[in-house]
Amino acid sequence: MIQLEHISKRFSGVARPAVDQLSLTVEKGKISVFVGPSGCGKTTILRMINRLVEPDEGTIFIDGKNILQMNPPLLRRTIGYVIQQVGLLPHRTIGQNISLVPELLGWPREKTARKVRELLEMTGLPPEEFESKYPYQLSGGQAQRVGVARALAADPPIMLMDEPFAAVDPIIRMHLQDEFLRVQQHIRKTICFVTHDISEAIKIGDHLVILNEGRLVQSGTPIEILTHPSNDFVSSLIGDDRGSKILDLIRCEGLMDPQAPLVDFPKDNGSRVQAVWPVKAALERMMKNNTDEVMVCREDQPAGILSWNGIKAHINRISGEKQ
């Protein structure tokens, strides 16, 4: 768990503080996303957690220990760090780049080599092909996979990620996000993730922290924030399409009608969706089949009917709350 208490930071030559009396808690094993417009202080906050930036005021605790009293390089070796521009060392091979922190920690060579191969495999880069390549030989997406692998090398309990997927094209970005979420299912790290992209925040985050001008505006789960934005700033950040953004987050079972008659419903797979799928997937099915209804199933068992009218009613209900 990471706790920031009354943190302030002012950069010389800038009138407004970058971070202003901010307190927040990042829960263990969760992905907390810091989101806000550029200049809101999100990157500064992230860099204070590994002391690349020192706060002017306030204290930061990791698992109850005050990190401002720790040796910065030693602290950083226990925190994974991924940045947008990746920052691989251009004169070292991919293998050497990944083994950077284990090397600093003095791991035995064999243990490091094993870990490098394991991480390359986990991030979908075959070790025999990539281990001895140099960073200039990689595409943007591959480089960022290596960046993530490097951050994970010494198995740090905490990961700081500063817009890690912002520099790659949208298709690769989606791919990297999905992969990242899949990996996080296994590794369960405490992750602080910075982004300016609210859609990414909603997709990735277990917990969102919305920031503006160095202050915390609202924090909560994506659903809480989408359904109850606390002020106009949050609403405008989420955008007018928050109704449809929610469809990505709620499961089909949440909007289906379990009492609907299931008889004479076509038996083919095309009009069935799984209860745990997001509603958006059901919408895609409807459009593809040109129907207004799909059958929601738990494994093979029919559980209810999800209809276009049901979805529409839900969107109206959410959007209507604001008026």
Partner 1 sequence: MNFDMELFLQAMIHRSPGYIPEHLQLSLIPLFLAVSIALPAAVLVTRPGYRQYAAHVMAFFNAGQTIPPLAVIAVFFPFLGLGYGPALFALTIYALLPIARSSIAAISTVPEDVRDAALGMGMTPVDVLLRVELPLSLPTIMAGVKTAAVLTVSTAVLAALVGGKGMGAIIFAGINFFRPELVLAGTIYIGLLSIILERLLSVVEWFLTPPHMKAARSR
Report if residue 261 touches partner 1, rule: CB under 8 A: no
C-alpha 183/C-alpha 322 separation (Å) is 37
C-alpha 148/C-alpha 162 separation (Å) is 11
Nearer to partner 1, 163 or 253 (CB): 163
Report if residue 81 touches partner 1, rule: CB under 8 A: yes
Q: Which of residues 240-259 bind partner 1 (CB under 8 A)?
A: none
CB of 2 to partner 1, least distance (A): 16
CA distances for 137 relative to 89, 134, 179, angstroms? 13, 6, 22
> In this structure, are residues 195 and 45 in contact, taking their beta carbons and an 8 Å threshold?
no
Question: What tokens appear for 266 in the block?
Answer: 């076509």
Q: CA 221, 225, 227, 229: dihedral to nearest 10 degrees?
A: 160
CB of 13 to partner 1, least distance (A): 13
Selection from 297, 249, 247, 307 nearest residue 273 by Cα: 297
What is the contact mask toward partner 1 in residues 15 to 54, using x (rule: CB under 8 A)?
A: -----------------------------------x-x--
Report if residue 181 touches partner 1, rule: CB under 8 A: no
Nearer to partner 1, 70 or 275 (CB): 70
Q: Which of residues 82-101 bind partner 1 (CB under 8 A)?
A: 83-91, 100-101
Report if residue 142 touches partner 1, rule: CB under 8 A: no
> In this structure, are residues 29 and 189 in contact, taking their beta carbons and an 8 Å threshold?
yes
**Interaction site with partner 1 (CB under 8 A):** 50, 52, 73-78, 81, 83-91, 100-101, 104, 134-136, 147, 150, 160
